[in-house]
Structure 1
Amino acid sequence: MEKFKGALVVGFLRLFALLPWRAVQAVGNAIGWLLWKLPNGSREVVRINLAKCFPELDAQAREALVGQSLKDISKTLTESACAWIWPAQKSLALVREVEGLDVLHAALASGKGVVGITSHLGNWEVLNHFYCAQCKPIIFYRPPKLQAVDELLRKQRVQMGNRVAPSTKEGILSVIKEVRRGGAVGIPADPEPSRSSGVFVPFCGTQALTSKFVPGMLSGGKAVGVFLHALRLDDGSGYKVILEAAPAGMYSENVEEGVAAMSAVIERYVRRYPSQYMWSMKRFKKRPAGEKKWY
């Protein structure tokens, strides 16, 4: 049954990727609108997250952001389906603007390991192709449950000659070793970790359990950190990739200081492009001691 489900999903993705770009976005927009208007778990998670993270918004403005977020999240998913199937160069052609590429070039020329840091903001699948076109990193990812889909993604995500590492003990070790020997890696910094692997730091008006992994690799200047995001342009024609050097605080040997500095950068981008963040994920499932669960 799992094989059948996997083959069905992959077959659907291949058919979907045949659609024109504007049709891909239109389908995503329509799915998002339905998710906004019909009762479903994703809508409730988005509402909870936005109510906690943007308490300064009145009810009308917040609900409008809920709707736009669900539309943008759905467009990210339909656009990503194309990035999973298309040749990498076709996805790269959608990168219309790049800001801060010199930051990555300087990091790569430093002689140290480079940690590319991103989050669930914008389109991380297009970003993957862009980053891998600049160097040959190991990309850290969480494998999907369906084996056929995992095999497809592992194949598509290494089109530029890079490698991938699943979020397993072996994958984590391969990422650490790559950085230590002066290579490059790419890591999403915002998935909620286990309690032992993270600390609570401020994020968008609340406390969020945040991974110590990336700041741990940078502490003491052992490696160089670069933030990367691919944000959807307002006209829908493609993306703007923004690169930024990790702030000094992320190199601190104080764990909480390093994690808080990383969280602050991600928050700044999320507040700038709030609807493009994946508010449908249960980012705040674990809460500080004594605080009631959100979901």
Structure 2
Amino acid sequence: MLLLFRFLARWPLRLLHALGGLAGWLTYAASASYRQRFQANVAVAGLPWAAARPAIAAAGRMIAETPWLWLRPAEERLGRRLRWEGAELIEAALAERRGLVLLTPHLGCFEICAQAVAERFCDAERPITVLFRPARKAWLRPIVDDSRGRPGLATAPATLAGVRQMIRALRQGQTIGLLPDQVPPEGLGVWAPFFGRPAYTMTLAARLVQQTGAALLLIWGERLPGGQGYAVHVMPAPAIARELSPEEAAATINAAMEQMIRLAPGQYLWGYNRYKRPRGLDIAAAPEPAAAATATGQER
């Protein structure tokens, strides 16, 4: 498998994205459960099908571009394959030297965001630290571990040690990256509305901001058509005040993620099981939508 990854890593993005688009549609056609979840998530979001339909191919492109993203030589810079919108927001936040938290949903090429930030703003002494879950497949772990540790980019496992690593980075004025629409393990999240439906949502992102006083920005990597590359968009984030409860903070962040997803629904990972229960949690713990809104102060 490693040989296949290395072989595909040499392909141009144009071919990888073409292959991935086809694979995305084949997966959608072959898997009834994936297809139903995809359609159900789009319906919950209240978006027209025509706007979300391109995400079927985009999901395949996300997989196909992975070898290039992970195994591209470290000295091969993104260069012309990348353009920025809002980079000045990162520059201003870093100038304050109070740490920076970057949040991105499963939208577009989220892997490119960390690499782009590392290449432009970071170095070995002041890297961007990204939270990740170790690969479940034993053969994949060495690839993931080696490929994500690029110049200016450090990784922190989704463990207590990883959380401490991220807190240290913020207190040293460095940058960290998180995907807050990832379902956390039991006990590490709260139920908060996501497109109007209760979703178990991580509290880590808000806690890091509240505990360290770090700046907060939103970022996402748009996959450009025809394998042209990527556009990284940086946007202001809502304020996460210290006095916000975990439920209120999670609802605030979810609303920001919704706003970003509505910008490019054709590149969101609608097949992701966002509304699943965390392992070991009683299903009765998931409140009804009205109850969830009341708990987060939306119906005061």
What TM-score comes out, normalization by structure 1 length? 0.85
* Equivalent in 264, 269, 274 of residue 273 of structure 1: 264
CA shift for structure 1 position 35: 2.0
CA shift for structure 1 position 137: 1.5
* C-alpha separation in 1, matches of 2:243 and 2:225: 40
Q: Does 1:116 align with 2:102?
A: yes
CA 1:224–1:44 in 2, change beyond 3 Å: closer, same or farther?
Answer: same
Q: Does 1:53 align with 2:45?
A: yes
CA 1:95–1:245 in 2, change beyond 3 Å: closer, same or farther?
Answer: farther
Counterpart of 1:43? 35
* C-alpha separation in 2, matches of 1:260 and 1:39: 32
Residues 211-236 of structure 1, C-alpha deviation per residue, up to 9 Å, x if partnerless?
11111111277111121111112454
Preserved contact between residue 17 and residue 226 of structure 2 (Cα < 8 Å): no
CA shift for structure 1 position 83: 0.5
Q: How does 1:233-252 map to 2 (within 5 A)?
A: 233-248=224-239, 250-252=240-242
1:46 is paired with a residue whose SS is helix
- 2:286 maps to a residue whose letter is A
Counterpart of 1:5? none
CA shift for structure 1 position 201: 2.3
The more displaced of 97-106 and 43-52 is 43-52
CA 1:158–1:15 in 2, change beyond 3 Å: closer, same or farther?
Answer: same
CA 1:268–1:236 in 2, change beyond 3 Å: closer, same or farther?
Answer: farther
CA-atom RMSD in angstroms: 2.3
* Equivalent in 6, 20, 30 of residue 12 of structure 2: 20
* C-alpha separation in 2, matches of 1:189 and 1:151: 25
Counterpart of 2:165? 174
Counterpart of 1:3? none
CA 1:112–1:273 in 2, change beyond 3 Å: closer, same or farther?
Answer: same
Preserved contact between residue 223 and residue 229 of structure 2 (Cα < 8 Å): yes
Q: How does 1:162-241 map to 2 (within 5 A)?
A: 162-219=153-210, 222-241=213-232
The more displaced of 157-166 and 21-30 is 157-166
Q: How many residues align?
A: 277
Residues 41-65 of structure 1, C-alpha deviation per residue, up to 9 Å, x if partnerless?
32222122122222x64xxxx2x55
- 1:125 maps to a residue whose letter is E
Counterpart of 2:243? 253
CA 1:17–1:220 in 2, change beyond 3 Å: closer, same or farther?
Answer: closer
Residues 125-172 of structure 1, C-alpha deviation per residue, up to 9 Å, x if partnerless?
221210112121211111111234222222222221332111122112
* Equivalent in 47, 51, 56 of residue 70 of structure 1: 56
* Equivalent in 151, 166, 171 of residue 160 of structure 1: 151
Please, which runs of 5 or more residues in structure 1 have no aligned partner?
1-7
* C-alpha separation in 2, matches of 1:166 and 1:88: 21
Preserved contact between residue 88 and residue 129 of structure 1 (Cα < 8 Å): no
CA 1:145–1:39 in 2, change beyond 3 Å: closer, same or farther?
Answer: closer
- 1:92 maps to a residue whose letter is L
1:196 is paired with a residue whose SS is coil
The more displaced of 68-77 and 252-261 is 252-261
Preserved contact between residue 36 and residue 67 of structure 1 (Cα < 8 Å): no
What TM-score comes out, normalization by structure 2 length? 0.84
The more displaced of 239-248 and 98-107 is 239-248
* C-alpha separation in 1, matches of 2:11 and 2:81: 19
Counterpart of 2:89? 103
* C-alpha separation in 1, matches of 2:197 and 2:42: 11
Percent sequence identity over aligned pairs: 28
CA shift for structure 1 position 17: 1.7
CA shift for structure 1 position 81: 2.2
* C-alpha separation in 2, matches of 1:230 and 1:91: 16
Residues 192-219 of structure 1, C-alpha deviation per residue, up to 9 Å, x if partnerless?
1234222222222322221111111112
CA shift for structure 1 position 67: 4.3
Preserved contact between residue 183 and residue 202 of structure 2 (Cα < 8 Å): yes
